[in-house]
Structure 1
């Protein structure tokens, strides 16, 4: 019985902590409009994501188009070491290059092989190297493609949202910059409320959503509630 009452008290404290949420207010980075004010439409520039370099990596699928020379136009998969094989020029390093850089490398190799003024275009058709790992308390942990517009909230949405026991103020982004491992701690609720910007996500980032013991405690309380009902009624009487 004492354990049951302790559980009830804990849940009551948790419920109290959920009351009295601070209202959303304008700040230097956020303008809050009331329900009677129409939100302005975005400009054309707002609808275009800033360009972010996409690098070719191992096992990516790319297309190579050499204008006027059909035998050199093909779809190619980058091998595990980051190289591709092309007729006449053999193997080339593709890993770590942009599509434009690889186009230039192929054109230079074709020129050395005797092709006059080759016009080469490379496109990344499918990338398995430009991904973010989303782990922890999300519905569908896994690897997800990184696009120009990828942010923390979008990465979590890609993983089908938070799980039952997710702790919104304990979300970590792990990133390697140079040889330095960096961890950033974020609060999803604060981001949703505009307290600070939704952070950008880059290829090879790892997002980890923490576990909430309080949510587990609440789940345990709900499961025990039918068993606690009779003793509690008897105590009240």
Structure 2
């Protein structure tokens, strides 16, 4: 089961003369961690409440930004350096208490960077963006990831007769068991790629069972009826089972 609690993916088409692009996502819970990954053949600027963690730029920009969510938050407006160019993006919401781990990036290369300093047990993500030529309206940039092994996004915004398009692909692994990761797989035809690799710490759920209830008292109130009372369990029990034996 993925470590995130919500995920939204989409694209923002080019809008000539309009620099802003709205990225919409599932309304968030206050205190959760939002992570937005977006790729396009332009440079992106984020509003002040967001922290841009990674920003490899060459033929495209692959941007990874985070913030702590407010209750019901459901969109962010990204300013593109040129409204003529589209974006492909995905938004993850992680539970309250999650935090950014480590990250690295590389631009304009087919050689994947290695992420070091991972804490064992973190979730690790790797993403690539690349350009789609403006005369390529049916691009084939499909990717098969082997490391990380779970592919989550393989999105293309085709070019048209006026401007370039872009593609973005992303994979992840939860509860990663090593301190380094180098992305690997069979990637699209682009000769120049932007890479981003990062980790997220997600708090473990409550694994401590409730204590055993104590001090059971039985008080007869009729021929076939009794009252039961006891000292409640500590922790977070979801209920109690009462078993009656005998005639």
TM-score range (shorter-chain normalised) is under 0.3
Higher RCO (CA < 8 A, seq sep 6+): 2
Per residue, is there more strand in 1 or in 2? Answer: 2
Per residue, is there more helix in 1 or in 2? Answer: 1
Report the TM-score when normalising by structure 2: 0.21
Report the TM-score when normalising by structure 1: 0.22
